[in-house]
A and B are shown apart, each in its own frame.
Chain A
């Protein structure tokens, strides 16, 4: 339904999206995940024909976004980050306007408006000015606007932001009921969102594709590995951080050693194991054999949250990690 090949979007001073490729099958719900500024919104804007790509091919619902944007626009529903509502309009008036804008005939419009107001639970405010509505209602009016013409593809930029927990659950249920007939891409930086409503996840960071997989696979991929927090003390009070790190890295089964902090002669590390390896016993032995004191050791559970942080990373070690993950794809 959606096919993106080598999409790059360059702004005058920044490279917002760097050579991203992915495909989305019909009827899937796909989560578009990444920290703020990762290029989620830019990618979505290209998919909706709001921005032209700098290079690459983007095909939505069977049409190219550059060559036949009109055909694409007829088949997509889009909810931008801030719902595109006119505060001076009433809810039903606004939905009627958008419906007509999307090409719904005058005969069908009233029925469609009623239908989406029911679906998005905004019927009780139908004759209120949108400017007077709360953020949650406004968000739902925005969602109603996106589905009014029954589009093949729904593109939602952070659909649950600003909603209270109950509303979030309602929106999730709504999205799930829409999947099947509609292909849905939703962006978010909230992970539980993806765990709850998406079948597949596309993770991007700093404009690059970091991972694309089903939610189950992604969690499995890292669940097999172990993460350990370790604190080392040396009797003379002055352990050499690089020595310790090197020794820990040499323990078999260790994939990565990260130095956390060094305080009062104590060094804390976070250590990750390779897939399916248990390393705690070996680590303890290694530390003790070197003559250091093992003052703390505990296992850290890995959630989707950690996977996300791990994949998107931050700061200096980012580039390396990106390359690493890119290699695994």
Chain B
């Protein structure tokens, strides 16, 4: 455990000593803030018009602002996650520091968990930027906080899963750009697949949509804590980290 935390804190220092962490946080805050602004503006306008017309429609901050916003956040993170994971292993391989790690009394699993945990923590920092916006809603209205927490849990699980996949891809190359590019492509495909299969009902479509990591976020975004989806995410994380471990082991045999 000490070793995992050691690697994790080293990764975090690496992120925050370079502009990467701040850039990603700024990107995310900017895009999310823009989404937040449009969503609240539209809802406010709509509510105002409804009142003027004398219609008494029930308004829900949860359904009309928070849910679409967090869905939006889940899409933005798809584009930012490759930038978090691309350097994890590729950079160590390029600089030769992987030799230091792999000849130190620390297991491959500890290295992988430490690095993955570091990337998850940076990802949490990104989500924290969005939470700043959401907290404002709590200050000015009374949304239900439980669905918000569940949606955040979904975001964390989805992110952790994609980060594990990104970590695996990063072990396969010594070139950060390739690692980032491939991870970006995978994220993009997952996103597109969820679109393509949205209205299909065939067996292939349902398998694809099941595997598409993004679709499992839906229940969470509705505020439903789905055991099935949670297990899916956890097993995907486990599987991706397992692949990462295998890939690191193969480094020793191939290099």
Residues in chain A within 8 A of chain B (CB atoms): 12, 45, 48-52, 70, 73-74, 76, 78, 80-82, 84-89, 93, 97-98, 100-103, 145
In the complex where A51-B255, A84-B95 touch, is A74 in contact with B10 (Cβ < 8 A)? no
A78 touches B18 (CB 8 A): no
How close is B10's CB to chain A, nearest CB, in angstroms? Answer: 6
The residue on B at minimum CB distance from A70 is B105
Partner of A73, one of B18, B104, B254: B104
In the complex where A51-B252, A86-B97 touch, is A97 in contact with B10 (Cβ < 8 A)? yes
List residues 166-216 of chain B with CB under 8 A from any CB of chain A: none
Q: Mark B75-119, 1 if CB is under 8 A from A, else 0.
A: 000000000000000000001111111111111000000000000
Contacting residues, chain B, for A74 (C-beta < 8 A): 105
Q: How far is the CA of A49 from the CA of B95 in the complex (A)?
A: 19
B106 touches A50 (CB 8 A): no
Q: Which of B104, B106, B107, B252 neighbours the largest number of chain A CB atoms within 10 Å of its CB?
A: B104
Interface check B3, CB cutoff 8 A? yes
Contacting residues, chain B, for A82 (C-beta < 8 A): 95-96
How close is A133's CB to chain B, nearest CB, in angstroms? Answer: 14
A86-B10, A88-B18 given; name 13 further pairs at CB < 8 Å. A12-B254, A48-B99, A50-B99, A51-B255, A52-B252, A70-B105, A78-B99, A84-B97, A84-B98, A87-B95, A88-B13, A97-B6, A103-B105
Q: Mark B27-41, 1 if CB is under 8 A from A, else 0.
A: 000000000000000
Q: How far is the CA of A282 from the CA of B103 in the complex (A)?
A: 58
Partner of A84, one of B17, B100, B252: B100
Interface check B14, CB cutoff 8 A? yes
Contacting residues, chain B, for A49 (C-beta < 8 A): 102-103
A84 touches B99 (CB 8 A): yes
Partner of B105, one of A85, A86, A97, A102: A102
Size class of the B contact interface (CB-based, 8 Å): 20 to 34
Q: How far is the CA of A100 from the CA of B100 in the complex (A)?
A: 13
Contacting residues, chain B, for A97 (C-beta < 8 A): 6, 10
Interface check B253, CB cutoff 8 A? yes
Q: Which 10 A-B pairs have the closest CB atoms?
A: A84-B100, A73-B105, A88-B17, A84-B97, A48-B103, A74-B105, A101-B104, A82-B96, A80-B99, A78-B103
27 contacts between A and B (CB under 8 A): A12-B254, A45-B99, A49-B102, A50-B102, A50-B103, A52-B252, A52-B253, A73-B104, A74-B105, A76-B103, A78-B103, A80-B99, A81-B96, A84-B97, A84-B98, A88-B17, A88-B18, A89-B13, A89-B17, A93-B13, A97-B10, A98-B100, A98-B104, A101-B3, A101-B104, A101-B106, A102-B104
Q: Which of B14, B96, B98, B102 neighbours the largest number of chain A CB atoms within 10 Å of its CB?
A: B102
Q: How far is the CA of A290 from the CA of B104 in the complex (A)?
A: 68
Q: How far is the CA of A89 from the CA of B95 in the complex (A)?
A: 14
Contacting residues, chain A, for B6 (C-beta < 8 A): 97, 100-101
Q: How far is the CA of A82 from the CA of B97 in the complex (A)?
A: 9
How close is B22's CB to chain A, nearest CB, in angstroms? Answer: 14
Q: How far is the CA of A81 from the CA of B96 in the complex (A)?
A: 9
Q: How far is the CA of A48 from the CA of B96 in the complex (A)?
A: 14
A80 touches B104 (CB 8 A): no
Q: How far is the CA of A41 from the CA of B18 in the complex (A)?
A: 32
How close is B37's CB to chain A, nearest CB, in angstroms? Answer: 35
Q: How far is the CA of A101 from the CA of B14 in the complex (A)?
A: 16
Q: How far is the CA of A87 from the CA of B13 in the complex (A)?
A: 12
A73 touches B252 (CB 8 A): no
A86 touches B14 (CB 8 A): yes
A80 touches B96 (CB 8 A): yes
A84 touches B96 (CB 8 A): yes
Q: How far is the CA of A85 from the CA of B101 in the complex (A)?
A: 11
Contacting residues, chain B, for A81 (C-beta < 8 A): 96
Contacting residues, chain B, for A76 (C-beta < 8 A): 103
A88 touches B14 (CB 8 A): yes
The residue on B at minimum CB distance from A129 is B17
Contacting residues, chain A, for B96 (C-beta < 8 A): 80-82, 84
Contacting residues, chain B, for A102 (C-beta < 8 A): 104-105
Q: Which of B13, B105, B254 neighbours the largest number of chain A CB atoms within 10 Å of its CB?
A: B105
The residue on A at minimum CB distance from B103 is A48
A85 touches B97 (CB 8 A): yes
How close is A316's CB to chain B, nearest CB, in angstroms? Answer: 31
How close is A83's CB to chain B, nearest CB, in angstroms? Answer: 8
Contacting residues, chain B, for A89 (C-beta < 8 A): 13, 17
Q: How far is the CA of A87 from the CA of B87 in the complex (A)?
A: 14
Contacting residues, chain B, for A87 (C-beta < 8 A): 95
Contacting residues, chain B, for A48 (C-beta < 8 A): 99, 103
